[in-house]
């Protein structure tokens, strides 16, 4: 009698069926969940490797948004009406740049995640969706560091937060999901078309101008507002500033709602495409 290998009985009964076609829209979340440890390891690796052989190390998480804030303040800060009255422009800009950096870095990371792991994809099986998701982990850590600096700036400018600050949690989640929604789509496209790698930085530049990062959304002409708000980051950024710096105004629920809805639509489309082409990643990459 041969003893079964350890872990065999306690684990899932593990019958794997391999066949030509999977149903289109099966997400198989239980499988994704069962690979969560690998997900943690991928995030851990990214964090470990991220700032190796750099002089400034994790300070880079702050340097980028901080310098952008300085530049914005020098060149745009004196334009009247760019930010609402009563809020110091540097704080206004930084409160936008911190979530924006989270979004843009996550988007870059997840769109490149599959191609960057091409060797793994060709040599071992795991749910491929893990890669664009895990790519965001390190960006969230950077975001946490930048948030600390944002809080210090609020103290410096004497702005005290209201209970609305709790809104930051769902808003941050929305920014992450929005980045993931686009990132999942672009990462799968990137496997087939390496054009994506060149298009993403450009896309992010355009997106920066199309989002209320350096300026207030109030500057957008009312007839363009509806289209403007389809950009999920419009809702996220408006919400962030309201939660951190708002002085008692009602929450911009409309913008946030539109942002969430737009995100869900993009996410579903992205996942559908990802699932469809996933089976040939190893052959094409």
Residues near another protein (CB under 8 A): 2-8, 11, 14-20, 37-38, 41, 45, 48-49, 52-53, 120-126, 191-195, 279-280, 282-285
For another protein, the closer of residues 41 and 75 by Cβ is 41
For another protein, the closer of residues 122 and 247 by Cβ is 122
Check if the beta carbon of residue 106 is closer than 8 Å to that of residue 267.
Answer: no
DSSP 164-201: GGGGHHHHHHHHHHHHHHHHHHHHHHHHH-THHHHHHH
Please give the backbone phi and psi of residue 258, each rounded to the nearest 5 degrees, phi first: -60, -45
For another protein, the closer of residues 87 and 121 by Cβ is 121
- At its nearest, how many Å lie between another protein and the CB of residue 249? 44
For another protein, the closer of residues 124 and 206 by Cβ is 124
Both structure tokens of 69:
């804030």
* Distances 274 to 13, 71, 270 between C-alpha atoms, Å: 28, 38, 6
Between CA 104 and CA 176 the distance in angstroms is: 10
- At its nearest, how many Å lie between another protein and the CB of residue 126? 7
- At its nearest, how many Å lie between another protein and the CB of residue 155? 37
For another protein, the closer of residues 75 and 125 by Cβ is 125
For another protein, the closer of residues 35 and 157 by Cβ is 35
Start-end of H helices in 117-248: 118-123, 130-156, 168-192, 195-209, 225-229, 232-245
- At its nearest, how many Å lie between another protein and the CB of residue 207? 19
Q: Which residue has the tokens 């790519």?
A: 135
Both structure tokens of 92:
């206004």
Between CA 224 and CA 239 the distance in angstroms is: 19
For another protein, the closer of residues 147 and 189 by Cβ is 189
Burial class (CB in 10 A: 0-12, 13-18, 19+), 199: middle
For another protein, the closer of residues 16 and 55 by Cβ is 16
Between CA 181 and CA 231 the distance in angstroms is: 12
Both structure tokens of 272:
């559908």
Between CA 240 and CA 135 the distance in angstroms is: 23
- At its nearest, how many Å lie between another protein and the CB of residue 267? 22
- At its nearest, how many Å lie between another protein and the CB of residue 14? 5
- At its nearest, how many Å lie between another protein and the CB of residue 112? 15
- At its nearest, how many Å lie between another protein and the CB of residue 87? 42
């Amino acid at each position: 009698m041969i003893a079964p290998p350890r872990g065999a009985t306690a684990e899932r009964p593990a019958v794997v069926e391999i066949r030509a076609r999977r149903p289109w829209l099966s997400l198989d979340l239980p499988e994704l969940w069962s690979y969560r440890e690998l997900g943690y390891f991928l995030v851990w690796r990214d964090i470990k490797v991220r700032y190796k052989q750099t002089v400034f190390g994790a300070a880079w998480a702050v340097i980028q948004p901080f310098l952008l804030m300085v530049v914005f303040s020098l060149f745009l800060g004196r334009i009247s009406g760019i930010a609402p009255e009563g809020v110091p422009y540097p704080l206004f800009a930084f409160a936008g740049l911190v979530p924006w950096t989270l979004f843009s870095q996550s988007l870059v990371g997840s769109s490149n995640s599959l191609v960057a792991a091409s060797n793994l994809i060709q040599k071992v099986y795991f749910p491929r969706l893990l890669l664009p998701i895990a790519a965001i982990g390190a960006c969230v850590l950077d975001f946490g560091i930048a948030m600390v600096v944002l809080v210090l700036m609020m103290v410096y400018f004497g702005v005290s937060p209201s209970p609305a600050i709790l809104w930051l949690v769902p808003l941050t989640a929305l920014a992450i999901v929005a980045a993931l929604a686009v990132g999942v789509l672009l990462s799968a496209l990137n496997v087939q078309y390496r054009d994506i790698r060149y298009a993403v930085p450009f896309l992010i530049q355009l997106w920066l101008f199309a989002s209320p990062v350096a300026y207030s959304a109030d500057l957008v002409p009312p007839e363009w507002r509806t289209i403007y708000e389809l950009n999920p980051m419009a809702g996220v950024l408006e919400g962030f500033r309201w939660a951190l710096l708002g002085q008692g105004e009602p929450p911009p629920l409309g913008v946030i709602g539109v942002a969430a809805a737009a995100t869900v639509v993009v996410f579903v489309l992205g996942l559908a495409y990802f699932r469809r082409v996933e089976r040939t990643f190893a052959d094409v990459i």
